[in-house]
Homo-oligomer: A and B are copies of this chain.
């Protein structure tokens, strides 16, 4: 039974990390407070010394999922000779489709955001703008003017392909959906 402030901070971080993983997989409503605390190695009664309510944890977990998405994007781009190809091949890959926990939070939790409170929708909007800005830079030639409309359409293609690929049962069909999105976005370089 740890009690120091350091240990409380570590517990807090474990709770958020556990919630983020479980919610990326099952949605923000799926895991109970007891599930989350158990996944963090704690009992459920202690939860309310860390958060005023379950909803407060949802907000923290979604924000943490956005951070993880940005980190995954950074890793995908790191050292790539062709950053657009690197991003697209990471995003619309079978590996990303099968790895909900550390993948894109927009694709995993968008439905929850649409149903959720305006605070969640703001977090989503920021993340969508971030992806759109990245695609604007990656799609355009260094000299050419940025094409926001093309970047938004490419983002819809990638998010939609990941989303649909996760909803269909057949692996081959699912892989073809991802491949078609990769081809389509890569063919739209200006």
A153 within 8 Å of B (CB atoms):
yes
Known contacts A128-B168, A177-B156; A110 and B149 CB within 8 A of each other: no
Name A's interface SS: helix
A64 within 8 Å of B (CB atoms):
no
Residues of A in contact (CB 8 Å), total 46
Pairwise interchain contact B111-A27, C-beta atoms closer than 8 A = yes
Which residues of B lie under 8 Å from residue A87 when comparing CB positions? none
A11 within 8 Å of B (CB atoms):
no
Pairwise interchain contact B160-A161, C-beta atoms closer than 8 A = yes
- Residues 87-131 of A contacting B (Cβ, < 8 Å): 106, 108, 110-115, 118, 121-122, 124-125, 128-129
A150 to chain B minimum Cβ distance, whole angstroms, is 7
